Amino acid sequence: KQEVTQIPAALSVPEGENLVLNCSFTDSAIYNLQWFRQDPGKGLTSLLLIQSSQREQTSGRLNASLDKSSGRSTLYIAASQPGDSATYLCAVGEGDKLTFGKGITLSVRP
Amino acid sequence: DTAVSQTPKYLVTQMGNDKSIKCEQNLGHDTMYWYKQDSKKFLKIMFSYNNKELIINETVPNRFSPKSPDKAHLNLHINSLELGDSAVYFCASSQGVAGEAETQYFGPGTRLLVL
């Protein structure tokens, strides 16, 4: 059974910092890995999707990497801004099924 | 235009009642999902449908019955509501063939509170 872990559960940083959010998973036989953002009281917004054959994906200030063999992914956020404050969820895709971590709640202080 | 919409946004009801949550997507996607996010914010898949056919059923009690009248709609009916059903329910959709995991687009969620 796939288990996805995100540590720490919460993170607070000053504006402008570059930061890394970590995700680990137990079963490396995955189709893809997705990073989502969830704002309080809102639904999820897909940020990046990395196929199992890829090593990384980039979108603007975000870069996600995937190391299947070690069961790890990281989401790198460059030059963080207060608007980046949200919960970031990692989800491992196996077929149609996504298994989510519990998320990391990020607070970027002005 | 909202890509994935859910109604109602909030639902407060008594134990034992039957309720439905509706979901519609206007993205032309073939696959739709229901997820449950519990009080600890843990998000877990419940069902997925591809072209109106059930693909995934993650050991959800049979009090929960999804219904897909067409591929743009996936409604969730819950019988005999229990306190533990209180959660946020998210609908999502993705393009493509079942088994090819692609980007999923989520609705805003329905916050269910069972009293």
pLDDT tens digits, A62-108: 999 999 999 999 999 999 999 999 999 999 988 778 899 999 999 99
For the ranges A24-28, B45-49, B85-89, the lowest mean pLDDT is seen at B45-49
Q: For residue A97, what pLDDT is reported?
A: 81
- pLDDT bracket for residue A29 (50, 70, 90): confident
Q: For residue A12, what pLDDT is reported?
A: 96
B64: phi then psi, degrees, rounded to nearest 5: -95, 120
**CA–CA separation, B104 and A109 (whole Å):** 30
User: Closest to B45 (Cβ–Cβ): which among A42, A87, A97?
Assistant: A97
Q: Residue B23 — left, alpha, or beta (φ > 0 → left; ψ -120 to 50 → alpha)?
A: beta
3-state secondary structure of A11: strand
Asked if the model's pLDDT at residue B87 lies above 90, the reply is yes
Residues in B closer than 8 angstroms to A32, CB to CB, are: 101-102
**CA–CA separation, A28 and A68 (whole Å):** 5
A84: phi then psi, degrees, rounded to nearest 5: -80, -10
- Residues A46, B104: C-beta atoms closer than 8 Å: yes
3-state secondary structure of B91: strand
Q: Which residues of B touch A (CB under 8 A)?
A: 4, 31, 33, 40-45, 48, 50, 55-56, 58, 90, 92, 94, 98-109
Q: What is the mean pLDDT of chain B?
A: 89
Asked if the model's pLDDT at residue A19 lies above 70, the reply is yes
Do B45 and A44 meet the contact criterion of CB atoms below 8 Å apart? no
